[in-house]
Amino acid sequence: MKAKFWLIAILIAVLLTGCSIVSGSKTFRNTSWGMDMEKVMTSESSDADLINKKTKFKRFSVDPKPNELVYTSTLFDLPVIVTYNFNKGKLVAAQYSADDQYYSYTQDELKELSDHIKEKLTKKYGKPEIIGNEKSLIWESKKTSITMWDEPETGFIQLFYSSQQYLDEVNKQQEKYENEKFTLSATTLISRLNL
């Protein structure tokens, strides 16, 4: 539930808000938060293929939006979809998707990929926060939050990286929205009660 909330909040914020992100050390593949699309494109490895139009995979289509770059690439020698998300022209989030709807994975391959990712991220960032029924994990550093939705038995693993600064902006916008919603609800209630 919490992971769903974060995903919705991030998507709303990508559409409605902006923030200034300062570039720095590498945070996802060969990129840094705050890079523009052109720099991200030049930083991507030569083995990655840009998807710039609607593309049909096994049982699913990918249709890049104007604020994202989408590639096919590999993660630990397995094919994945790599998506970079931009807000006001600056990189704020990115993700890996390993989904049997895109490629033909065996359940063992997805389980192996899942275990390898968890091991690498735990070694680098420490023990993750577990959300819900252990299907969602979060690692955090000073600059980056990494959320892993892990369901290899259903054929799906997603690794979502986002700028910590951007998430702070999203949280502020969400709080502002909730406060405005509460104020409007209270005002409506007061007017209906004729107070």
Full-model pTM: 0.71
Does pLDDT of 2 surpass 80? no
pLDDT tens-digit readout, 93-113: 999 887 665 566 777 887 888
Residue with tokens 């909330």, as numbered in its chain? 5
Q: Cα 37 to chain center, whole Å?
A: 17
Burial class (CB in 10 A: 0-12, 13-18, 19+), 109: middle
The predicted model gives 100-129 an average pLDDT of 81
